[in-house]
Structure 1
Amino acid sequence: MNVSITTRGYKAPERLKNYLVDKLRRLNRFEDQIMDIEAIFSYEKLDQVVEFKVNLRKKQFIIKERSEDIFKSIDLAIDNVERQITKIKGKIREHKKKKISDVIE
């Protein structure tokens, strides 16, 4: 899994980068699905925003979370990414279970 970090308007401290990498370890169980993740940190008014662009094998999605604390935003975004990947894996698994005889009847 490739991870790239982009910041808009400021330079990310090492503590923030280390925190992100540590939290992304939770996604190692989906390593066969995830090709790469791009993390974008920015400010919007008083909120700190985290945006993840996640590329799976056959799908891509974007998660955007905002809060007053960047670390809280990262936690919310990681939870959302886990939820989305689990949902996609479930759909793929259900699709594979269907047999042509079930569809015809």
Structure 2
Amino acid sequence: MGKEAIELFRTCIPVFQTLSDPHRQDILLLLSEHSRLTVNEITDYSQLSRPAISHHLKLLKDKGLVTVEQQGTLRYYSLALEDSVALLKQLLFIVERDCIKP
């Protein structure tokens, strides 16, 4: 495996770790069905507590997978997958090019 592929794998580790949790996957899928939601709205769809949802949203925000928009006292969360998807596409391209033999 080439150095470029290894470096991309290492760069993708935080995204993989964040996406590996089923609750965070559920939150991302829920946000994909709605343009934006508050913590309370997300909690209404989940069996998790509000603090647990907030924790998962913080991790997703820290990795750039969701964004937050403050409107008055409400914080609205929405998807922001573009950068992560582009990174993962780049990784797949390099792996296909360097690691899969025709």
- In which range does the TM-score fall when normalised by the shorter chain? 0.3 to 0.5
TM-score by length of 2: 0.33
* Structure with the higher fraction of residues in helix conformation: 2
TM-score by length of 1: 0.33
Answer 1 or 2: higher relative contact order, Cα 8 Å, separation at least 6.
2
* Structure with the higher fraction of residues in strand conformation: 1
